[in-house]
A and B are shown apart, each in its own frame.
Chain A
Amino acid sequence: MTAPMLEAHGVQVELGGTEILHGADLTLHEGELVAIVGPNGAGKSTLVRAVSGLLKPTAGTVRWSGRDLGSMRGRDLAKVRAFVPQRMPVPTGVTVREAVTIGRSAHLRPLSRLTRADRAGVEEAMDRAGVGRFAERTLTTLSGGELQRVQVAIGLAQEAPVLIADEPTSQLDLGATIGVATLLRELVDHGLTGLVVVHDLALAAAVADRVVVVAEGRTIAAGPPAEVLNAEQLAATWGVDARLSEQDGRTALHVAWLNRA
Chain B
Amino acid sequence: MARRTLVLAALLVALAAATIASLALGAVKVPLADTLDILFGSGGSASDRQIIEVLRLPRTVEALIVGAALGVAGAVLQGALGNPLASPDVIGVTGGAGFGAILVIIAFPGSIALLPASALFFGLLAATLVFLFAWTGRNRGGTTKVILAGIAMLSLFTAGTTGLLAAFPERAPSAIFFIAGGLTSSGWRELETVWPYFAVGFLFALALVRPLDRLALGDDVAASLGSKPQAIRLGAGVAAALLAAASAAIAGLLGFLGLVVPHVVRMAGGTSSHTFVIPASAIGGAALLAAGDTLARTLRAPIEMPVGPFMVLLGVPLFLWLLRRAI
The answer to whether A82 touches B224, judged by C-beta atoms less than 8 angstroms apart, is: yes
Cβ of B269 < 8 Å from any Cβ of A?
Answer: yes
The segment from B44-52, B57-65, B242-250, B270-278 that touches chain A is B270-278
Count residues of chain B with CB under 8 A from any CB of chain A: 24
CA distance A105 to B213 in the complex (A): 10
- Tell me which residues across on chain B come within 8 A of A85, comparing CB atoms: 218, 220-221
Cβ of A91 < 8 Å from any Cβ of B?
Answer: yes
Total of A-B residue pairs, C-beta within 8 Å: 84
Cβ of B151 < 8 Å from any Cβ of A?
Answer: no
Q: Which of A66-120 contact B (CB under 8 A)?
A: 73-78, 81-85, 88-89, 91-94, 98-99, 102-103, 105-106, 108, 110-111
- Tell me which residues across on chain B come within 8 A of A83, comparing CB atoms: 220-221, 223-224
Q: Which residue of A75, A77, A89 has the most chain B CB atoms within 10 A of its CB atom?
A: A89
The answer to whether B270 touches A88, judged by C-beta atoms less than 8 angstroms apart, is: no
The answer to whether B214 touches A102, judged by C-beta atoms less than 8 angstroms apart, is: yes
The segment from B10-18, B108-116, B160-168, B225-233 that touches chain A is B225-233
CA distance A189 to B123 in the complex (A): 57
- Tell me which residues across on chain A come within 8 A of B225, comparing CB atoms: 74, 78, 102-103, 105-106, 158
- Tell me which residues across on chain A come within 8 A of B271, comparing CB atoms: 92-94, 98
CA distance A84 to B225 in the complex (A): 10
Cβ of A53 < 8 Å from any Cβ of B?
Answer: yes
Cβ of A221 < 8 Å from any Cβ of B?
Answer: no
The answer to whether A158 touches B210, judged by C-beta atoms less than 8 angstroms apart, is: no
Closest to B269 in A: A93
The answer to whether B220 touches A74, judged by C-beta atoms less than 8 angstroms apart, is: no
Cβ of A54 < 8 Å from any Cβ of B?
Answer: yes
The answer to whether B224 touches A91, judged by C-beta atoms less than 8 angstroms apart, is: no
Q: Which of B124-152 contact A (CB under 8 A)?
A: 138
Cβ of A168 < 8 Å from any Cβ of B?
Answer: no
CA distance A92 to B272 in the complex (A): 6
Cβ of A249 < 8 Å from any Cβ of B?
Answer: no
Cβ of B266 < 8 Å from any Cβ of A?
Answer: yes
- Tell me which residues across on chain B come within 8 A of A75, comparing CB atoms: 226
- Tell me which residues across on chain B come within 8 A of A102, comparing CB atoms: 210, 213-214, 216-217, 221, 225
The answer to whether B224 touches A94, judged by C-beta atoms less than 8 angstroms apart, is: no
The answer to whether B220 touches A106, judged by C-beta atoms less than 8 angstroms apart, is: no
Q: Which residue of A73, A77, A93, A155 has the most chain B CB atoms within 10 A of its CB atom?
A: A93
The answer to whether B217 touches A154, judged by C-beta atoms less than 8 angstroms apart, is: yes
The answer to whether B217 touches A73, judged by C-beta atoms less than 8 angstroms apart, is: no
The answer to whether A98 touches B273, judged by C-beta atoms less than 8 angstroms apart, is: yes
The answer to whether B207 touches A88, judged by C-beta atoms less than 8 angstroms apart, is: no
CA distance A4 to B271 in the complex (A): 43
Q: Which residue of B82, B266, B272 has the most chain A CB atoms within 10 A of its CB atom?
A: B272
Cβ of A148 < 8 Å from any Cβ of B?
Answer: no
CA distance A75 to B222 in the complex (A): 11
Selected contact of A91 from candidates B138, B217, B220, CB within 8 Å: B217
- Mask, A210-238, CB within 8 Å of B = 1, is 00000000000000000000000000000
- Tell me which residues across on chain B come within 8 A of A91, comparing CB atoms: 216-217, 272
Known: A89-B82, A89-B216, A102-B214. A53 touches B272 (CB 8 A): no
Closest to A92 in B: B272
Known: A93-B269, A108-B210. A88 touches B220 (CB 8 A): yes
- Tell me which residues across on chain B come within 8 A of A108, comparing CB atoms: 210
- Tell me which residues across on chain B come within 8 A of A93, comparing CB atoms: 266, 269-273
- Tell me which residues across on chain A come within 8 A of B221, comparing CB atoms: 83-85, 88, 102-103, 151, 154
- Tell me which residues across on chain B come within 8 A of A84, comparing CB atoms: 221, 224
The answer to whether B210 touches A110, judged by C-beta atoms less than 8 angstroms apart, is: yes
The answer to whether A77 touches B273, judged by C-beta atoms less than 8 angstroms apart, is: no
CA distance A148 to B38 in the complex (A): 61
CA distance A53 to B229 in the complex (A): 13
The answer to whether A99 touches B223, judged by C-beta atoms less than 8 angstroms apart, is: no
Closest to A99 in B: B217
| Known contacts A88-B217, A102-B213, A102-B225, then 19 further A-B pairs from the complex at CB < 8 Å, ordered by chain A residue | A74-B223, A74-B225, A74-B226, A78-B226, A89-B82, A89-B218, A92-B266, A93-B266, A93-B272, A98-B271, A99-B217, A102-B214, A102-B216, A103-B221, A105-B214, A108-B210, A110-B210, A111-B207, A155-B224
Can you report 9 A-B residue pairs in the complex whose CB atoms are below 8 A from each other? A74-B228, A76-B226, A91-B272, A93-B269, A94-B273, A102-B221, A105-B214, A105-B225, A108-B210
Q: Which residue numbers of A lie inside 8 Å of B, CB to CB?
A: 16, 52-54, 73-78, 81-85, 88-89, 91-94, 98-99, 102-103, 105-106, 108, 110-111, 151, 154-155, 158, 166
Q: Which 7 A-B pairs have the closest CB atoms?
A: A74-B226, A85-B220, A93-B271, A83-B224, A78-B226, A88-B218, A91-B216
